[in-house]
Amino acid sequence: MAYYVRAMTRNDITAVNELDREVFPDIRNSTNFQSELENFLARYIVIFETDSAENKNRDADKLIGYAGLWLMVSEAHVVNIAVSNNRRRNGAGELLLIALIELALQMNCNMITLEVRVSNITAQKLYEKCGFIPMGIRKGYYNDNNEDGIIMTIENINSNVFGENFKKLKENYRKKRGPIKIDLAALAS
């Protein structure tokens, strides 16, 4: 199986809402994706599983995840990354994160930041692999259980050092998972 990533559209909202309830069943305040798509600060992407990265028959594709970020001045803030429970640990989350970083670069952001649950060691390892560094704690950040959130940041995504590391990250992903198909053209304006 291959993955491809593109901008979320209104046609995706029903499937994304279903996925959101699956991945975050305990969250009381779910995201209003219709409003987010209309928010000029927000950018949302979706990931599909397909027979091949070049598949033209999109009807057979299955939406398995989504991610979003907010753009604030020269900073990109990752607001969520979600992958279907039965598709985790297969590279979809990593590809979503790669696509969000690509988008932040295209939008001329200088840094990218996020929060992650202190209990979510798997996500923390992925973020560190992509260059994020723990910067602090937000006490009681998650409203479903009052869990603390670790603030993780890449401070200069435009640096040569980060650029080289990001290039290696994408190449390693390609070697392990296959071609990367990301279409962000609709979001880069």
Q: What CATH number is associated with residue 15?
A: 3.40.630.30
Does residue 147 carry a pLDDT above 50?
A: yes
Cα separations (Å) of 2 from 24, 65, 81, 136?
Answer: 25, 13, 19, 36
Give percent of the chain with pLDDT exceeding 90. 56
Instruction: State the pLDDT at residue 30.
Output: 64
Instruction: State the pLDDT at residue 134.
Output: 96
Is pTM beyond 0.85? Reply is yes
The H or E element spanning position 65 is: strand 62-72
Please give the tally of structural domains in the chain. Answer: 1
Inside any domain, residue 188: no
Inside any domain, residue 189: no
Does residue 162 carry a pLDDT above 80?
A: yes
Inside any domain, residue 116: yes
Instruction: State the pLDDT at residue 59.
Output: 45
When pLDDT is averaged across residues 135-155 and rounded to a whole number, the result is 90
Q: Which residues are catalytic?
A: 115, 127
Which position has the higher pLDDT, 52 or 40?
40
Mean pLDDT of the chain: 87
55-79 pLDDT, tens digit per residue, is 544 545 688 899 999 999 899 999 9
Domain with 163, as residue range(s), is 2-183
When pLDDT is averaged across residues 27-49 and rounded to a whole number, the result is 83
Inside any domain, residue 94: yes
- Name the phi and psi angles at 107, rounded to 5: -90, 10
When pLDDT is averaged across residues 8-13 and rounded to a whole number, the result is 91
